[in-house]
Amino acid sequence: MNRLKNESSPYLLQHAGNPVHWYPWGSEALLAARESDRPILLSIGYSACHWCHVMEKESFEDHDTADIMNRHFINIKVDREERPDLDSIYMQAVQAITGRGGWPMTVFLLPDGRPFFGGTYFPPRPLHGLPSFAQVLDSVSSAYRNRRKDVDAAAENIGHTLKADIFGTLKDSEQDGMNILHTAWDILNRNMDSVYGGMKGAPKFPSPGIYEFMLRYSIISGKREPLDAAIGTLVKMSSGGIYDQVGGGFHRYSVDEKWLVPHFEKMLYDNAQLSRLYLHAWQMTGNEVFKDVAVEIYEYVVREMASPDGGFYSSTDADTDGEEGRFFVWDREELRGILGDDFSLASFYWGIGDEPNFEGGNILNIPHDEKSAAEKFNLTEKDLRERIRMIKKILYDQRGKRTRPGLDDKIITSWSGMMTASLAEASRILGRKDYLAAAVKSGNFIIDKLGSGQAGIFHIYKDGTAKINGFLDDYGSVIDAFIELYQATFDGKWVDHAFRYAGYVIENFSSGDGLFFDTGSGHEELFMRPKNIQDNAVPSGNSMMARQLLRLWCYSGDSRFAEAAGAVLNKLMPVMFRYPMMSGEALNALCLSAGGITGAAVVGDSDSPATGEMLNVLNSVFRPGMVIAYSPDDAGSDNPVPLLRGRVKQGGRTAVYICRDQACSMPVTEPDEVRKLLEKNP
């Protein structure tokens, strides 16, 4: 066993038995590199990564390869989910060196941590123009020993590239917010796949931030085309193999353009964002399929990914017993034996033909619309959905007898925050008390177990221990979750915590140029301080914070929040203008800024039917530019939510105040009056 045996990360523990003398990232490894004057071989991956497992079996479990690594390098293994700061820095380096990135990531560093060479997956033997991993090791080791000046120069050049101000190469767009949104939509629309949805080409990633933008942009622009493009994509995605047709939830991405064949890992962050996206699409269209998908995702997450203590686990593997997708793929005759008389319906509905569609087995997908399937079997669409629901239950129970994919049971604050926000919002939209209970439990877990004092939070919780200072996206996600918990419960503690966390970010993460660093002021000092401005697998922390700060400004009237959000968006406008496909969350924040924020303050008895009716009016339509506050009593100047201060009932009746740009309408007491005011302020 190597030094990883004492780590808590499931990914690092998977490598604890390798013959490689792995170190975790830390002072011991960096000191060993300096004292031995050996380069660092930094390997970054994550538990659910299929190709990470492949490279481990091919190279890190191979004694000859391990011997080369141990003789010539200090070998460090990093879980990218634990250390997104390291992943961000060295991924940028690999992209600068090779023009592409991905995991597993292999980076060679000087003892002071500066990268000088890197790549992603290296095969055990030369393949398709790639050198073997052993050849790479020998070449890098030789260069470090014999051409040190060249290595130092490479590190110097890469360092300059990484530290260069990208904004120095981007001209100001010289357009206002709405024009940038128009331009972004035009670029996205030109790159849409008109047949299968999503962006053209393969592989295809769900990219929920982009399609969320299309929904929001459709509302503030009045254009139908963005909505149609988004819902067309959502239909194709939920009909494909990327969606777990039996157990709910989305896999990571599709390797083909049709959304059929996924990489089978399931990530919490994908399902947190996609559940919310499908919920919003249902609100906008009334399409019950979208609601069903959202509900199935929630049921999957609460059933399989919820920690007993609160919070949500991070992922499940693509592989089972070393075989990718084994848990999810079906044999045709196996299905016939399980389903009996239902096989004919199931095989048509899920496209099970005579020829397998994946490595001798079948990935369930929905090639026909519900109307066609219902007509073929002489059913109503409602009856069809009920039959399919029953068949799914049978298959789910049968599948549960198989060996399950590995579970990465660490709790990541940002991902758990995203899931909490989605569940809290769904609880008020769908009237689901069970979703609210799960969201509240998770929110309390964040406060009680992940709080680090002085309004700070930790990034990771595993085996009863919270560790690693929180990153910017941790704060953005938690603030979002607490805003949604407030709107679902109207318990002032949630918005109070959100205010404090936002203040902490402004004080400890500001970079001085309008943006935020990804790391706080007390974080470990690295050779550079990362500042991510684009969405990757999760939204950019800067963009996420901008949107949440705008919402908090509406609640509080605190100009600090408005100024900080405005500074981020002003800085990111050239990026949104040039690279909208990398800027989904920033575009969503810009929609909120350009379209305007509406605050709805409701004052009325909690047991009054009129109060319930007013809240129903506010919640029944997707209104991304609105935040809601509520008080059962007349609100005084000491109310914890400034938006409510001075709001009182009218003649004992429930009253609603609609506020925009820090100015409020006269209170109204009838639902139709609220609707009319909201038509002016969508």
Question: pLDDT tens digit string along 474-500?
Answer: 999 999 999 999 999 999 999 999 999
CA distance 583 to 496: 29
Residue 501, pLDDT > 90, answer: yes
**CATH topology for the 598-680 domain:** Glutaredoxin (3.40.30)
Cβ-contact 445, 438 below 8 angstroms: no
Q: Is 633 helix (H, G, I), strand (E, B) or coil?
A: coil
Cβ-contact 103, 44 below 8 angstroms: yes
Residue 581, pLDDT > 70, answer: yes
% of the chain at pLDDT higher than 90: 89
148-190 confidence digits (pLDDT tens) = 999 999 999 999 998 877 776 666 556 789 999 999 999 999 9
More confident site: 237 or 638: 237
Q: Is 345 helix (H, G, I), strand (E, B) or coil?
A: helix
* Alpha helices, DSSP H, located in 539-608: 541-556, 559-578, 584-595
Tokens of 386: 């009920």
Least confident of 148-157, 219-228, 353-362, 548-557: 353-362
In the prediction, which pLDDT does 488 show? 98
* Alpha helices, DSSP H, located in 400-491: 413-430, 433-450, 472-489
Domain assignments of the chain as residue spans, ordered by start? 3-164, 328-399, 598-680
In the prediction, which pLDDT does 130 show? 83
CA distance 644 to 635: 6
| Section 518-538 average pLDDT | 92
| Section 320-334 average pLDDT | 92
Tokens of 420: 């909490």
Residue 359: what are its φ and ψ, rounded to 5°? 45, 50
In the prediction, which pLDDT does 292 show? 96
In the prediction, which pLDDT does 100 show? 86
Pairing of strands 626-631, 598-603: parallel
In whole angstroms, how far apart are CA 618 and each of 280, 626, 629, 632, 640?
Answer: 14, 9, 11, 16, 21
In the prediction, which pLDDT does 172 show? 57
Residue 682, pLDDT > 80, answer: no
Cβ-contact 580, 528 below 8 angstroms: no
Before 203, cis peptide (omega within 30)? Answer: yes
CA distance 458 to 135: 40
Residue 114, pLDDT > 80, answer: yes
Least confident of 109-123, 152-166, 437-451, 514-528: 152-166
The CATH H-level superfamily of 3-164 is Glutaredoxin (3.40.30.10)
Q: Name the pLDDT band for 36 (thresholds 50, 70, 90).
A: very high
227-285 confidence digits (pLDDT tens) = 999 999 999 999 999 999 999 999 999 999 999 999 999 999 999 999 999 999 999 99
Answer yes or no: same fold for 3-164 and 598-680: yes
| Section 211-218 average pLDDT | 98
Query: Any bridge partners for residue 253, and if so which?
Result: 263
Residue 394, pLDDT > 70, answer: yes
CA distance 89 to 523: 15
Least confident of 176-180, 419-423, 440-444: 176-180
Q: What is the mean pLDDT of the chain?
A: 94
